Structure 1
Amino acid sequence: MARRFAPFGPRRVRRPALMLAVALLAAAGWTVVWATDGLHTWEVGTVDARFRLRGARPAQNFAVIELDDATIGELGERPPLRRSRYATAIDKLRRAGARLIVFDIQFTEPTRMREDNALIEALGRARPTVLSTTETDGHGHTAVLGGEDTQRAFGVRVGSTLLPNDSGGVIRRMDYSVDGLKGLWVVAAETLWRRPVRQFGSALIDYAGPPGTIQAYSLIDVLRDRLPAGAVAGRIVVVGAAAPSLGDVHPTPTSPNGAMNGPEVIANTISTVLRDRPLRDPSWPVAVLAIVLCAALVPLAGLRLTPLRSQALGLAFAACFVVAAQALFDHGLVLPVIAPAGALLCAAIGALAVHYALSASEQRRTHELFARFVGEPVVRELLTRQDGGLLGGVRRDGTVLFADLHGFTALAERLEPEATIEVMNRYLGEMSDAVMAQRGTLVSFLGDGVMAVFGAPLEQPDHADRALAAAREMLDIRLPRVNDWLRAQALSEPLRMGIGMSSGDVMSGHVGSARRVEYAAVGDTTNVASRLETLTRDLGAALLISDATRSRLSAPPEDLLSLGELKLRGRDGRIVVWALDRASHRIEEHTS
């Protein structure tokens, strides 16, 4: 089994930089989207979904009295009702123990004096009360009940009921004041607390639940004394129009398939202020941190994990983030979801693009590098199996072969430089073809020598057989072919060569610098093969192989002759060496 080492080359340097760039770009881009409220419709849609997932919460401190179709039908009176009707309702609600009466009905224009007086007197008896309006002079002044003097005289406070429409006409937020007039929800809270409400800009309305969550009763039941005992005792009572024909119905985050009537919306706004606006938008550091974390996750994971695992991690993190956003929402923090999710998605796509771009570049680089050392079939197999480690370092069981010409240096001194180079090119070309024919890797040319390895970078169970076959081809076919060419060119006497081979662990991979890269195979196996090739000169042998190579042959040939244990130059200990039986008498002299 191969043991991988850290890959060599600029690829590992570029990958962190590119992944960091992907994370930074995704984080910066989606931070801008969040800061400029881009994709607002999608973001508030997630808030609506979080309301629905949270479900309804009790609102026991509130009750709604509805001017509904039942009231209109039983009274036989079309709205606006006579103000004495509301005066009667106020008295009955006061006697029933209502804590505060809030009207989501405007009393701006005067009607009959008797009717107006009845209403004003009832308000005075129930003081304090809160009335609503949508009309101001732009400076917070209103004409409700004829003006502010009357309001103060009878303990009446007035607030605006204008609520901003968000995307899709949905009412999601409330303002502290409108045209200088405080919102009805602020006025109601201040009336109950008897102190000012801390000013705020815009705030999310924390709806208790879908329409009907807040207990509602018909106005006619109040007028006819049909309210259940204790129905409004100690509660904040909001009186308003609920009949669909009156048009005071609005879409809200908790009413996706319908609408919520005005008084229930107002009750939810007052409840939100009384609870100190429990739903808070995050501070910008928190929001930006969420975006940055989502943007950085997959690219940084991609430095350690495979693309599939890093993408799966991103998907799992997205699910956890959604769960966390819901949990935080349940505890009052409205964390943005769209911008972090967008950052996560863009960063994941970017990381995947970087991976495949680098993989494509790596394949081209692998082809360019290995095409110099192995045949095209091996290069194609490398490209289908390459995972990055092959460009770095691997430890494999392989066979190293060294081949060298004997006496070529003396021969080169007698030849012209051009002829010398021509002979070397012819010889090295033939030897290279013999190596690649057996799917070996041509490691290097060492002057007139050749170094090759079998079993790396691709594993080859029969590497020893391939190496021996290549050596036989060199000796029996390639070298005679070179000698025939030399005779035809009348350049020199026939050439002789020696080959040394050994098998075992081979550490191989590309080494060098960014300017020059070579393939290398190092280790004790390489040293033994080199020493055996050197020993062929002393023994006059054409081929020497270690016992480690012979033991790995699938069927050791009969023409291998054991030379016993020999001492190799520069190496401690002795090893068993084998030679082809074609060796000269000098082998016998050396071993005798």
Structure 2
Amino acid sequence: MRRIGRRDIIAAILIALLAGAIFTSPPLQVLQGLSLDILTALRGKIIGDRRDPATSPVVVVAIDGETYDTPPFRGSPTQTWTREIGRVLGSITEGGAKVIGFDVIFPSSIEQSEIPFGDAPLGTRMKGFDRDYLIALRQLSDGGKLVLGEILSNDHSDRPYRAQQLAVKNNVRALNVHTDPDDVIRRMPLSFSIDGKPVPAMAVELAARALGAKPEIGPSGTMELSGYAIPSAVPNTLTLNFRGRGRDVPAYSFADLRACVEKGDRDFFHRAFDGKVVLLGTILNFEDRKLTSMRVSRGYDGSPAPRCAPPAPALTQKARSDVAGVFVHATVVRNLIEHDAVTELGFPARTILTIALAAIIACLACTLAPGGAVIAWFALTAVYTAVAVGAFVHALALPLTEPALASLAALAMMIGYRFVLADRDERFLRKSFALYLAPEVIETMVASGKMPALGGEMRNVTMFFSDLSGFSSIAETMTPGELVTLMNEYLSAMTDIIEGHGGYVDKYIGDSIVAMFGAPADDPAHARNAVHAALKCHEKLADLNANNPAFAGHGLSHRIGLNSGEAVVGNIGSRRRFNYTVMSDTVNVASRLEGANKYYGTAIMASEATVAQSGDTFAWRELDAIRVMGRGESIRVFEPLAEKGAESVAQAKVTAAYAEGLACWRAREFTKAADTFERTAPSDPASASFAKRARALAASPPPPDWTPVNILEGK
């Protein structure tokens, strides 16, 4: 995880502010509506939102395709339907309906027709045709049971013809809708200014009469109805809550109701309409279709209601992106009666929430790798969407598309910022020092944002020194190209093993390798890892000699020295040029042990400190007690054979004989020591060397103050 600096925090804040301001700005106001569409779809998909149509306080009487195909309506103009409409409305009122609203407008009467009919216009012949209908309208209006609809317009209003207006004593309310810039209806007007006075919209008027209350303007400036403060994100509007996607409103076919009147089934009208708000409107596939916030989830033209007379036509109701306009008004009525209109956040709250989520993603994009930041964006968006859907179940609409898109934009901008500016220095550091410093050191530099400087610290480490035996003489027989190929193969193989065990290669000196375990990265098992690496390096060299063409015929061998202890590690050198390296007596001893291998014919030699710190992981052979050049104290040295329990039978036999001979040597029993060492001398160079020394002392015994310490004169 990347460390955040002050500049990064400022950049994240500025990016979040910019992204939030862009995606909540007026030109992108369409995103607010899209959020409602998506929330409606997700709520319907995840939660279900199915409600029993029988519980709906509002029902629709539909002038539908069945009506147009049923006598006496088939083939006749709608102006001639008024008598039948009056009869059906009377039965609905007798059934106990609270109020009836017209979502259909009859702007003219058949009595006004100028179509020639014989020697006089048709209208003259039809005088008195609407009398019964107008009487029915007057009776329903006088009882407060009827409201006619009209369309207000500055250019051409659409109103019921004059006789109807007089019959209902101007109980006419507007059916106008509120359309968003993308031509989608998500909110509905609550009132309209007529002659300088606010007049409730059709749906508000119907709900008010059903509740027995009058709309009022509350102290906050919002409209209140029967104690319900109608939430209005856009002034004087109600945000539609299509909780049932249209299927929660029963739809009665007008043709069926007309047949029910003929049948005289008053009980049906009582069961269907008692206590209900009734809306008369058209449900056709080609007329008065509205795009609403159900356009993504796809809504329904109501739920087919129980029938009274003829059987239902064989029609399959399908979800559509548009719905009949009458269900928009029905939804408003239900939202008002049930106090279930959607509450939207105002512009300040939406902007703050959008900026907050964008800021979170910007900060994550600043600390994580691009792939991780994208995953974090998906995760945060999913969690926030779940919260938004949960809130929408309770009719609270949180912004959805604005925060999602703003945070995505913030993610892209922050990644761009990092690539162009913030990570430029990091890339420079990594590229510049990757071949010279340990990865851990580079990570420390990147995390701190500082260039390396002089300084060190005391650490417990294990030093690893290796050198090829007799390499100078071998190099003389090779061309420069062959030599470079050989060394690159050898050093690469050894380095991979060292680094694979957590070691850090300090430097190469010709054919020699200086490495340390336990720094720069802290490693409590550094001694054990160093021994593992030494054994693997020895095995790898044997494999290279046998299988690599560059090593063919050379029979290379190497010596490795291991020592553990305290050392100063850090950036050491001059103020202008330094290396990450290590210094201490621990380093010097490891170097001497590498050279001491040639006195015993061994490949790996470790100090007693390394043996102690590596635990019981390995099988060891104690070689001797030695005093190396430049050091006054003697140390016991050991040879690692294999992991514990993995040593061969031959190794175990040689180790036992060697231990016996060493004990005799230290007891000054030189002849016995020589005999013991000579038993394994043919197969063990260390035993052969000790046998020779024991014979010499047996022939010329040392003075009484002799100590069993081998003083090495060379490096």
| Partners of 1:155 and 1:566 in 2: CA distance | 123
Indicate the RMSD between aligned Cα atoms, in angstroms. Answer: 5.6
8 Å Cα contact 1:206/1:278 also seen in 2:
yes
1:46 aligns with 2:38: yes
1:56 maps to which of 45, 50, 57 = 50
Specify the SS of the correspondent of 1:80.
helix
Q: 1:568 to 1:45 in 2, by over 3 A?
A: farther
- Which amino acid letter does the alignment assign opposite residue 216 of structure 1? A
Alignment coverage as a number of residue pairs: 493
Stretch deviating more after TM superposition (226-235 or 40-49): 40-49
CA offset at residue 237 of structure 1?
Answer: 0.7
Equivalent-residue separation in structure 1 for 2:587 and 2:408 (angstroms): 55
SS in 2 for 1:57: coil
Contact 1:102 1:238 (8 Å CA) reproduced: yes
Partner of 1:272: 335
Mark the CA change 1:277 to 1:32 in structure 2 (over 3 Å): closer, same or farther: farther
- Among 30, 55, 62, the alignment partner of 1:66 is 62
- 1:517-556 matched pairs, under 5 angstroms: 519-520=579-580, 526-529=583-586, 547-548=608-609
Aligned counterparts of 2:51 and 2:79: Cα–Cα separation in 1: 33
Counterparts of 1:505 and 1:114, CA distance in 2:
117
Change (3 A) 1:175 1:330: same
Cross-structure match for 2:87: 88
User: 1:368 maps to which residue?
Assistant: 432
Where 1:315 maps in the other structure, the secondary structure is helix
Query: 1-side partners of 2:576 and 2:335: how far apart?
Result: 70
- Inter-CA distance 174–509: structure 2 relative to 1 (3 Å threshold): farther
Q: Which runs of 5+ in 1 are unaligned?
A: 1-6, 375-381, 402-432, 445-450, 469-499, 537-543, 582-586
Tell me what 1:250 maps to. Answer: 290
Alpha-carbon shift at residue 81 of structure 1 (Å): 3.4
1:158 to 172, 195, 198: 172
Report the alpha carbon displacement of residue 102 of structure 1 after superposing the two structures with TM.
0.7
Higher mean alpha-carbon deviation, 48-57 vs 390-399, is at 390-399
Query: In the TM superposition, what is the alpha-carbon distance from 1:339 to its structure 2 partner?
Result: 1.5
SS at match of 1:345: helix
- Structure 1 residues 357-366 or 89-98, which shifts more? 357-366
* Pairing of 1:171-570 with structure 2 (within 5 A): 171-178=185-192, 180=194, 182-192=200-210, 193-198=212-217, 199=223, 200-220=235-255, 221-222=257-258, 223-224=261-262, 225=264, 228=268, 229-244=270-285, 247-252=287-292, 253=294, 254-255=299-300, 257=320, 259-276=322-339, 278-301=341-364, 311-350=374-413, 361-372=425-436, 388=443, 397-399=461-463, 453-455=515-517, 502-504=563-565, 519-520=579-580, 526-529=583-586, 547-548=608-609, 562-563=625-626
Task: Please show how residues 80-119 of structure 1 align to structure 2 within 5 Å.
Answer: 80-109=79-108, 112=111, 114-119=128-133
- Say if 2:100 and 2:206, in contact at 8 Å, map to a contact too: no
Letter in 2 for 1:87: G
Work out the CA distance in 2 between the residues paired with 1:550 and 1:244.
Answer: 91
Alpha carbons of structure 1 residues 50 and 115: separation in structure 2 relative to 1, 3 Å: farther
Bigger relative contact order (CA 8 A; separation at least 6): 1
Q: Distance in 1 between matches of 2:572 and 2:327?
A: 76
Distance 1:186 1:69 in 2: 28
Q: Aligned to 1:93, what secondary structure does the other structure show?
A: helix
Match of 1:131 in 2: 148
Deviation at 1:148, TM superposition (A): 11
CA contact (8 A) 1:399 1:502 kept: yes
Deviation at 1:117, TM superposition (A): 4.6
Q: How many Å apart are 1:322 and its aligned residue?
A: 1.6
Q: 1:507 to 1:366 in 2, by over 3 A?
A: farther
TM-superposed CA distance for 1:197, in Å, is 4.5
Q: Are the counterparts in 1 of residues 97 and 274 from structure 2 also a CA contact under 8 Å?
A: yes
What is the percent sequence identity of the aligned residues?
Answer: 18
- Give me the whole-angstrom Cα distance separating, in 2, the residues matched to 1:110 and 1:49: 43
> 1:517 and 1:226 mapped to 2: Cα distance?
106
Map of 1:447 onto structure 2:
none
Write out per-residue CA displacement over residues 162-211 of structure 1, whole angstroms, 9 at most, x where no aligned residue.
21344765432212245645421122233334312444433322224344
Cα contact 2:19–2:358 (8 A) shared by 1: no
> Is the Cα–Cα contact under 8 Å of residues 572 and 578 in structure 2 kept in the other structure?
yes
Per-residue CA distance 1:293-336 (angstroms, 9 max, x = gap): 43234444467766655544432332222221111111111112
C-alpha displacement of 1:94:
1.4
Unaligned 5+ segments in structure 2 are 112-126, 218-222, 224-234, 301-318, 448-455, 466-487, 499-503, 508-512, 522-528, 539-560, 594-604, 639-688, 690-708
TM-score by length of 2: 0.54
**Is the Cα contact below 8 Å between 2:149 and 2:159 reproduced in 1?**
no
